[in-house]
Structure 1
């Protein structure tokens, strides 16, 4: 059970070696930097070291209690990321599939709306603009 914040890319397959041993279900989600407008080169992600890892670990532990997880992992990258690069991964393991799916969904909703990361979109000319929180992300979190 762990959370990491890092600049380097990760290998989702390698991250799952030995993960959730003995569980009845393992669910994973990997998010990628996407360009919905056709006008973005990438993202610049900032965070406060120490504070961010603590928050991710706290929410992972909360998910473990709430959904009776046997294991969980959160990896989130920071720094400059190009469109198409993996930005984060959530993995959950539980005795039953529904708990593993719901825990992954819960963690994703929290990461999208409350995790202490700040994002700037980098445009084709190198200019940047801060990304605002979306109402739909907040509404997704409120269902929990």
Structure 2
């Protein structure tokens, strides 16, 4: 799999910035920048969530993220820049866990590519989420989109 120099991926414990991701995919030949920002919400099934904690198998996660970039470039050849940022460690309520930015000459390609990216990321990348509730008990969450959780079904049909 060839790695494109216009693809940026990062797994970090630092706070994510939508502005930084947007700036990193900006280019003069593109009329569209699409962003997806996934944030920590304060509730799940009636329980008060106080934070999330993410862990990853980093070498495999990076390889899977590079594969997603390659797949995006195959499906949408006009996509110019891709930036996928995922936070690890503690992510407080309202802060971003994941930010995806994709630029293309026209909006449809970047919008479709961003949706594909987050769907496939949640289905294939070995990043695990633990919800910490106000009551103190933690709960590891499995992605419903996860390919290994539903017998290999592709979330995109």
Give TM class, smaller chain. 0.7 to 0.9
Structure 1 runs (4+) deviating above 4 angstroms are: 135-140
Q: Deviations over 1:10-62 (max 9, x none)?
A: 22112222523021211111110112334211111110122111111110121
Match runs of 1:47-58 below 5 Å: 47-58=56-67
- How many residue pairs match? The answer is 143
Which deviates more from structure 2 when the two are superposed, residues 24-33 or residues 11-20? 11-20
| 5+ residue gaps, structure 2 | 1-6
Give the Cα separation in 2 of the matches to 1:140 and 1:132.
Answer: 16
Matched, 1:14 2:11: no
Give the Cα separation in 1 of the matches to 2:96 and 2:56.
Answer: 17
Give 2:40's aligned residue: 33
Give the Cα separation in 1 of the matches to 2:145 and 2:110.
Answer: 26
Q: How far has the Cα of 1:108 moved from its partner?
A: 1.2
Determine which of 52, 57, 67 is the counterpart of 1:43.
52
Q: Deviations over 1:96-130 (max 9, x none)?
A: 21111100010011122222111111111332111
Give the Cα separation in 2 of the matches to 1:126 and 1:4.
Answer: 30
CA-based RMSD of the aligned residues comes to 2.1
Matched, 1:141 2:155: yes
Give the Cα separation in 2 of the matches to 1:57 and 1:122.
Answer: 30
Q: How far has the Cα of 1:82 moved from its partner?
A: 1.5
Give the Cα separation in 2 of the matches to 1:114 and 1:104.
Answer: 15
Q: Cα 1:86–1:19, aligned 2, differ >3 Å: closer, same or farther?
A: same
Q: How far has the Cα of 1:142 moved from its partner?
A: 2.8
TM-score, normalised with respect to structure 1: 0.88
Give the Cα separation in 1 of the matches to 2:115 and 2:86.
Answer: 16
Which deviates more from structure 2 when the two are superposed, residues 77-86 or residues 16-25? 16-25
Give 2:10's aligned residue: 4
